[in-house]
């Protein structure tokens, strides 16, 4: 399978746990050419020996906090938005057969 | 003049807030900017506790990706169409303690992923200057509610110019501080290494006050800066004596609109008259041309990962299925708009093992080179300016721009440098083209909010365009 045919994008979507209609997959395939042309602009740039920049501020801002109870949720709050719940647990359809 | 002082000085904040609610209802009929109107009754009943606060009695709007306890928060997405947070974002707490009163949650491109506000689950937001044009995005709802005079302040978020571009299209101030200056705790993310809380006001003095309220270390956001909050407003100083301002010539060369060029030339001449030394700055053209693809790769890859928790199982809108996998797929297919699913697919493509070196890591390396080039550009100057967009707000149906042209790649997207670098960056009104606003952007050195605000005030005085309002009849 050509990886840039609409079916390729449908298979990517499936791995991301959603689906694309035929029309949506075709539209992405059509647009992908321009995106790849834009991405090719990166190849013009010599990045030999350059370290990846993961965050804009590279000085340390995180820390190990003391092991004390801080902000907490009640069970009721944690489950407030659950589509289904019972006995203080989230309820889903079966996970294993 | 409907600035902060107008509200904080008045004797009856309840009346002012209720007037703002009515104004929001009326304007929203034309602008489609509001996702949820908030009944301010409970906040008003508690308001006296916050007397003396820097934003006491000011009606405000929050972008609908700010978690607000007990108030629907959708992030502009169908999948969160029923989500009611059980906690407040840090900024929601800070604004409340400063005496501000939330009257609405505003529309955004889905999860902030867009620059047009066309992908909002509630539909497009319309520009108050011309209802056939877009608001810009992703903070479009917040922008138009400030521009149309409904509120003097609104929170937005800026991952790739999502406050600074709509500020340009709507003739207002859009301020993005240094990365980590304002806590992101409780903001529904888009791309964590690029996301900034940012905001709209109608003048620079109000922006300085708001920044004082919003800034400060928050242990709940591990990227929050460990720096003290400064007295930005009282230290405001627009003097340009001895200041050096750079003009980003790559952007000017990429702009073909003669009205924007003329407005910009007038501003530069005025800044010079006030005593500033003007310096032409040319950055590496290849690096600037690579900003958009670099952004697209990093932002979409981070978004794909960030939004994997939206599965319809623990919160959000659930669709039925026989197995968990089916529930997730059905919920995510129905819950995400097509633009967002497209971006997730692209992000996932960049993250595949076979593409990581060529795309994702390459983009992170190019990001560093762009930031180093910007740092060098700023090394001998106090601030860098350029028009904030290549044109006025596009028509809602306009998709005509060549996406490989320098006008698009550079003039329409260079402000993303502010997200790559985390440097403070602000858009201010520059002028009008056929009655439609255009903006000027200013970017300064990392952490230097005071210089950013001081130069912004000098620009505001030069243009004379503070407190612009376009009411919608």
Chain-centroid distance of CA B158 in Å reads 4
Encode pLDDT of B29-40 as tens digits. 999 999 999 999
What structural domains and CATH numbers belong to chain B? 4-239+425-463 (3.90.1300.10)
Q: Which residues contact A64 (CB under 8 A, 6 or more apart)?
A: none
Residues of B in contact with A68 (CB under 8 A): none
pLDDT above 50: residue B248: yes
Task: State the pLDDT at residue B406.
Answer: 82
Indicate the SS3 state at residue B154. strand
Which residue from B132, B145, B133, B47 is spatially nearest to B105, judged by alpha carbons?
Answer: B145
C-beta atoms surrounding A66 within 10 Å: 6
Tens-digit pLDDT profile for residues B123-168? 999 999 999 999 999 999 999 999 999 999 999 999 999 999 999 9
Nearest to A93 among B224, B323, B420 (CB): B323
Give per-residue pLDDT as tens, B188-238: 999 999 999 999 999 999 999 999 999 999 999 999 999 999 999 999 999
pLDDT, averaged across chain B? 96
**In chain B, whose CA is at the least distance from the CA of A66?**
B219
Residue B401 confidence (pLDDT):
66
Paired tokens of B194? 């690029």
Q: Does B71 touch chain A (CB under 8 A)?
A: no
By Cβ distance, the residue of A44, A78, A94 closest to B323 is A94
B396-409 pLDDT per residue, tens: 998 766 777 888 88
List of E strands, B266-366: 277-281
Which stretch of A56-65, B340-349, B423-432 has the lowest confidence by average pLDDT?
Answer: A56-65
Residue A44: its chain B contacts at CB < 8 A? 286, 290
Q: Compute the distance between CA of residue A4 and CA of residue A25 in angstroms, rounded to an integer.
A: 10
Looking up tokens 């406050």 gives B163
Does residue B193 belong to the interface with chain A, where contact is any CB pair within 8 Å? yes
Stretch 409-448 of chain B: residues touching chain A, C-beta under 8 Å: 409, 419-422, 446
Q: Do B293 and A42 touch (CB under 8 A)?
A: yes
* Residue B368 in contact with partner chain A when CB distance is under 8 A: yes
Chain B nearest-CA distance from A28, in A, is 7
Contact flag B341-A56 (C-beta cutoff 8 Å):
no
**Active site amino acids of B:** 63, 138, 162
Give exposure, B177-205, as e/b (b: 16+ Cβ within 10 Å). bbbbbbbbbbbbbbbbbbbbbbbbbbbbb
Domain borders along chain A are 6-42
Three-class DSSP category at B106: strand
Which residues of A fall within a CB distance of 8 Å from B318? Answer: 83-84
Alpha helices in B171-274 (DSSP H): 204-214, 249-254, 258-273
| Residue-level pLDDT at A2 | 46
* Contact state of A41 with B87 under an 8 Å Cβ cutoff: no
Eight-class DSSP state of B61:
E
Euclidean distance between CA atoms B186 and B140, whole angstroms:
20
Q: Which residues contact B190 (CB under 8 A, 6 or more apart)?
A: B65, B111, B112, B113, B138, B157, B159, B299, B302, B303, B306
The whole-number pLDDT of residue A97 equals 65
Query: Residue B224: which residues within 8 A CB-CB, separation 6 or more?
Result: A61, B180, B183, B184, B185, B216, B217, B218
pLDDT band at A71 (very low <50, low <70, confident <90, very high): confident
Q: What is the pTM of this model?
A: 0.97
- ipTM given for this complex: 0.94
Residue A34's pLDDT band, with cuts at 50, 70 and 90, is confident
pLDDT band at B169 (very low <50, low <70, confident <90, very high): very high
Burial of A71 (0-12, 13-18, 19+ CB in 10 A): exposed
């Amino acid at each position: 399978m050509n990886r840039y045919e609409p079916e390729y994008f449908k298979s990517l979507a499936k791995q991301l746990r959603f689906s694309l209609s035929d029309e949506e997959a075709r539209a992405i395939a059509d647009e992908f050419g321009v995106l790849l042309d834009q991405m090719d602009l990166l190849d013009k740039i010599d990045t030999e020996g350059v370290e990846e920049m993961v965050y804009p501020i590279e000085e340390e801002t995180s820390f190990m906090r003391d092991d004390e109870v801080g902000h907490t949720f009640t069970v009721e709050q944690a489950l407030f938005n659950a589509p289904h719940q019972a006995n203080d647990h989230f309820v889903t359809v079966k996970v294993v057969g | 003049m409907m600035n902060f002082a107008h509200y904080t000085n008045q004797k009856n904040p309840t009346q002012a807030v209720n007037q703002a609610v009515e104004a929001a209802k009326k304007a929203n009929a034309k602008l489609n900017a509001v996702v949820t109107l908030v009944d301010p009754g409970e906040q008003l009943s508690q308001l006296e506790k916050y007397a003396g606060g820097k934003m006491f009695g000011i009606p405000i709007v929050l972008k609908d990706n700010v978690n607000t306890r007990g108030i629907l928060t959708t992030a502009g997405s169908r999948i969160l169409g029923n989500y009611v947070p059980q906690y407040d974002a840090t900024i929601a707490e800070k604004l409340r303690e400063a005496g501000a009163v939330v009257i609405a949650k505003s529309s955004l491109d889905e999860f902030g992923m867009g620059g047009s506000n066309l992908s909002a689950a509630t539909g497009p937001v319309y520009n108050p200057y011309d209802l056939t044009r877009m608001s810009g995005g992703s903070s479009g709802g917040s922008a138009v509610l400030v521009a149309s005079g409904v509120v003097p302040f609104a929170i937005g978020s800026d991952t790739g110019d999502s406050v600074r571009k709509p500020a340009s299209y709507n003739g207002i101030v859009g301020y993005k501080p240094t990365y980590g200056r304002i806590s992101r705790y409780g903001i529904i993310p888009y791309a964590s290494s690029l996301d900034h809380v940012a905001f709209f006001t109608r003048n620079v003095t109000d922006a300085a006050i708001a920044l004082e309220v919003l800034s400060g270390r928050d242990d709940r956001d591990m990227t929050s800066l460990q720096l003290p909050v400064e007295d930005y407003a009282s230290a405001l100083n627009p003097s340009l004596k001895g200041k050096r301002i750079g003009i980003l010539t790559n952007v000017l060369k990429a702009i073909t609109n003669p009205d924007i060029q003329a407005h910009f030339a007038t501003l530069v001449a005025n800044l010079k008259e006030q005593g500033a030394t003007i310096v032409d700055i040319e950055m590496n053209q290849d690096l600037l041309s690579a900003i958009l693809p670099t952004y697209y790769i990093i932002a979409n890859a981070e978004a794909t990962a960030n939004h994997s928790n939206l599965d319809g199982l623990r919160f959000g809108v659930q669709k039925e299925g026989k197995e968990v996998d089916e529930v997730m797929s059905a919920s995510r297919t129905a819950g995400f708009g097509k633009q967002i699913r497209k971006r997730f697919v692209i992000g996932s493509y960049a993250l595949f093992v076979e593409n990581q070196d060529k795309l994702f890591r390459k983009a992170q390396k190019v990001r560093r080179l762009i930031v180093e080039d910007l740092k060098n550009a700023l090394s001998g100057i106090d601030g860098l300016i350029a028009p904030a967009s290549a044109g006025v707000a596009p028509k809602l149906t306009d998709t005509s721009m060549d996406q490989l042209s320098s006008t698009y790649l550079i003039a329409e997207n260079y402000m993303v440098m502010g997200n790559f670098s985390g440097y403070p960056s602000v858009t201010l009104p520059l002028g009008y083209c056929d009655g439609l606003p255009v903006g000027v952007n200013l970017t300064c050195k990392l952490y230097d909010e005071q210089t950013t605000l001081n130069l912004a005030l000098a620009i505001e005085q030069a243009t004379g365009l503070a407190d612009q309002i376009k009411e919608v009849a």
